């Protein structure tokens, strides 16, 4: 049986028709999640590029308070994290859950309110930041009202996923499902604890960075990994390399990653033991990351040729490789000797984008490319545009991370050399900040292509095609 | 086929989260709760708190840290940015503004390095008037531009005229600081933690 089966034909086998029924049961909510995610992707990208251009031309649009760097930058982070990545991950996780539990979705009526409250929360929070109602905590800038809306939306999603899981028709729980189930339990608890009003001073700094890093630990990363664990074997058509490795990978991930947050405060006014604990935990991340990397790589090895034909596989494998890269980088960044240079510099910004873009966003693109034809019963038109999308954003993010890495290291070295005036550490970054804006333009063009294709899918427009792009090509190539 | 019972799984998942929570926030929170304010640290005045709110509103935190690193870790000490900051220096900070970025310099002791109110006002109106090459955003909405002929009038009515150098403000205008600009500068001028710390043994 084909791993990337033709979504039009539901009579191929009973197993396949059951799968189509579960797909249909969630197609409405998943489409709603994806569509709103894509809108936030566009808004967030424009905010990001604006913030970057502010470094190149600080007096550009300077009379508009809502577009000052200090407001556009958090607007970028929050629209991308809580808008694009969260909503796309929500759609992805509920879709994977029904697939992996082989049932129709349960408590479906909770999912539309989830989409609604989520979007309302992000909209309210973003407007609040732009008009100056920022709470002053990184990753927690949204006012409590907006945070409450998002928390309610998340709980709705969690309940639907957990209820669907409870009704599962399978004995074996696939590894992707572990990550999703853990995630939907972890994140609401984390988000509520972090938004409690009890903290101040350095304790609040600890809670702040425990949360900010754990948002990545318990939500963005697990869903990315769940998708990679599902789509790589699915598209290639062979099982994951080792079950035991994925077990080890999951539990070491859960155990160590939760302790990483305070590495954002190395050298800061917190108890030394606390910072050391986070550094140790960050280094221990080598274990789950290596495990996952081996598992994904040994599943893919020998099948790299398929990357040419399957857009899903191309995006997901790119993302999975960047997960390995960004995690190793993160472990090294936590070490005091390296942190002394990279802390407080653009290096960290490069690292963040390697994680949240090259890993998380690329995998979500792959997931959307796979899922959409099954949701709207229409094949992606214009495969050549998918190719442009991939290469524009892949080259864009490589340029982004490259320029921030080099620029950031130079900035750190200059900053730590007391004989140089501080302004030299600013001047040295300028060409790299300009390159970063160039990268942002490439990424924005890539996103516009993606959004154009996405709109065609929603409207079921463009040339009608009978099979996924890779299969058409395979038939031409294979005798 | 390996099968993990769902309840065991969820308990394990919850345990990992709470272990991290307890280790990184609860236990240090208990340890830090006993910290007393540094002996010479003063609570913020109302004006300084209003200025602090503007610091948060305009997102100063995304380019400026408020934490000084110890000797041998970065050049904070060699640059005379003030002794390493301690938990006791932050007890009145809600929300904390430690920051993680230094596109611009650390501000924990900016008032000790730059105590001039004029300097800060001009710098907020147009950073490049005082720091050539700076990437900082200007904050013109914290100021009013008024016609020059009324300059004496404003001075007489107690308005704060900002002495912006020639070429950095419109020729025929006089720049007046709003209350928000004055509040923000009052906050910046409160950032001085260079007082000595008595080491208790």
pLDDT tens digit string along A273-322?
Answer: 999 999 999 999 999 999 999 999 999 998 888 888 899 999 999 999 99
- State which residue of chain B sits closest to A69, comparing Cα positions: B137
* Interfacial B residues in 134-163 facing A (CB < 8 Å): 134-141
Q: Give me the pLDDT at residue B2, please.
A: 43
Chain A closest-CA separation from residue B59 CA (Å): 4
Share of chain B above pLDDT 70, in %: 93
> What distance in Å separates the CA atoms of residue A42 and residue A369, rounded to the nearest whole number?
17
> What distance in Å separates the CA atoms of residue A263 and residue A206, rounded to the nearest whole number?
10
> Does A3 score more than 50 pLDDT?
no
* B130-160 residue pLDDT tens: 999 999 999 999 999 988 766 667 667 778 9
Question: In this complex, is the C-beta atom of B32 within 8 Å of any C-beta atom belonging to chain A?
Answer: yes
| Mean pLDDT score, A138-145 | 96
User: In the numeric block, which tokens belong to residue B136?
Assistant: 């900082």
Q: Give me the pLDDT at residue A41, please.
A: 98
| Mean pLDDT score, A21-27 | 85
Cα A95 to Cα A24, A457, B5, B191, distances in angstroms: 10, 18, 23, 51
Longest dimension (CA), chain A: 75
Q: Give me the pLDDT at residue B100, please.
A: 95
Mutation pick from A136, A282, A417 vs chain B, by most beta carbons of B within 10 Å, is A136
The set of residues, in sequence order, having a beta carbon less than 8 Å from that of B156 and lying 6+ positions away, is: none
Global confidence as pTM: 0.94
Chain A closest-CA separation from residue B66 CA (Å): 9
Question: Quick check: A70 and B137 CB within 8 A?
Answer: yes
Residue of B13, B14, B87 with shortest CB distance to A202: B87
- State which residue of chain B sits closest to A165, comparing Cα positions: B6
Provide the ipTM: 0.93
């Amino acid at each position: 049986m084909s791993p990337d089966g033709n979504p039009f034909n539901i009579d191929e086998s009973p197993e396949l028709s059951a799968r189509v029924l579960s797909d249909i049961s969630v197609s409405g909510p998943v489409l709603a999640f994806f569509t709103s995610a894509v809108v936030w992707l566009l808004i967030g990208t424009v905010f990001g590029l604006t913030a970057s251009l502010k470094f190149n031309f600080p007096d550009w649009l300077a009379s508009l308070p809502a577009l000052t760097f200090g407001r556009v930058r958090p607007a970028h982070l929050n629209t991308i994290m809580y808008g694009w990545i969260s909503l796309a991950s929500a759609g992805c996780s509920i879709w994977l859950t029904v697939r992996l539990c082989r049932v129709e979705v349960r408590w479906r009526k909770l999912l539309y309110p989830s989409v609604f409250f989520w979007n309302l929360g992000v909209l309210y929070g973003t407007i609040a930041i732009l008009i100056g109602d920022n709470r002053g905590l990184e990753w927690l800038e949204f006012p409590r009202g907006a945070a409450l809306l998002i928390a309610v939306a998340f709980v709705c999603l969690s309940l639907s996923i957990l209820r669907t899981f409870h009704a599962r028709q399978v004995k074996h729980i696939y590894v992707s499902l572990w990550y999703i189930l853990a995630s939907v339990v972890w994140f609401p608890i984390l988000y509520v604890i972090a938004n409690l009003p009890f903290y101040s001073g350095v304790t609040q700094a600890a809670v702040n960075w425990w949360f900010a890093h754990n948002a990545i630990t318990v939500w963005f990363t697990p869903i990315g990994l769940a998708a990679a664990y599902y789509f790589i074997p699915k598209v290639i058509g062979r099982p994951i390399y080792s079950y035991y490795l994925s077990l080890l990978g999951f539990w070491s991930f859960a155990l160590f990653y939760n302790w990483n947050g305070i590495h954002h405060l190395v050298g800061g006014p917190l108890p030394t033991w606390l910072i050391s604990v986070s550094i140790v935990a960050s280094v221990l991340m080598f274990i789950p990351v290596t495990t996952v990397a081996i598992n994904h790589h040994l599943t893919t090895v020998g099948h790299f040729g398929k990357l040419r034909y399957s857009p899903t596989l191309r995006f997901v494998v790119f993302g999975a490789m960047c997960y390995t890269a960004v995690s190793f980088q993160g472990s090294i960044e936590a070490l005091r000797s390296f942190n002394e240079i990279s802390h407080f510099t653009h290096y960290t910004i490069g690292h963040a984008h390697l994680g949240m873009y090259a890993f998380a966003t690329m995998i979500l693109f792959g997931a959307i490319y796979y899922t959409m034809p099954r949701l709207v019963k229409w094949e992606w038109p214009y495969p050549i545009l998918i190719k442009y999308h991939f290469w524009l954003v892949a080259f864009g993010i490589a340029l982004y991370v490259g320029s921030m890495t080099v620029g950031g290291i130079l900035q750190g070295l200059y900053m730590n050399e007391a004989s140089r005036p501080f302004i030299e550490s600013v001047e040295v970054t300028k060409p790299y900040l300009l390159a970063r804006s160039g990268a942002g333009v490439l990424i924005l063009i890539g996103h516009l292509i993606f959004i154009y294709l996405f709109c065609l899918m929603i409207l079921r427009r463009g040339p009608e095609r009978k099979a996924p792009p890779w299969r058409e090509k395979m038939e031409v190539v294979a005798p | 086929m390996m099968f993990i019972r769902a309840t065991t799984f969820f308990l394990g998942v919850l345990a990992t989260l709470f272990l991290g929570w307890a280790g990184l926030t609860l236990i240090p929170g208990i340890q830090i709760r006993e910290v007393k304010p540094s002996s010479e640290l003063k609570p913020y005045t109302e004006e300084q708190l209003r200025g602090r709110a503007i610091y948060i509103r305009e997102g100063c935190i995304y380019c400026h840290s408020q934490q000084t690193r110890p000797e041998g870790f970065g050049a904070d000490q060699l640059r005379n940015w003030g002794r390493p900051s301690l938990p006791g220096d932050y007890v009145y900070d809600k929300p904390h503004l430690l920051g993680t970025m230094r596109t611009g310099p650390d501000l924990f002791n900016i008032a000790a390095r730059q105590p001039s109110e004029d300097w800060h006002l001009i710098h907020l109106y147009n950073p490049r008037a005082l720091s050539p090459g700076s990437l900082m955003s200007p904050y013109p909405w914290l100021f009013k531009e008024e016609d020059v002929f009324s300059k004496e009038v404003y001075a007489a009515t107690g308005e704060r005229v900002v002495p912006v150098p020639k070429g950095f403000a419109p020729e025929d205008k006089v720049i007046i600081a709003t209350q928000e600009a004055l509040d923000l500068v009052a906050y910046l001028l409160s950032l001085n933690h260079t007082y000595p710390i008595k080491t208790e043994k």
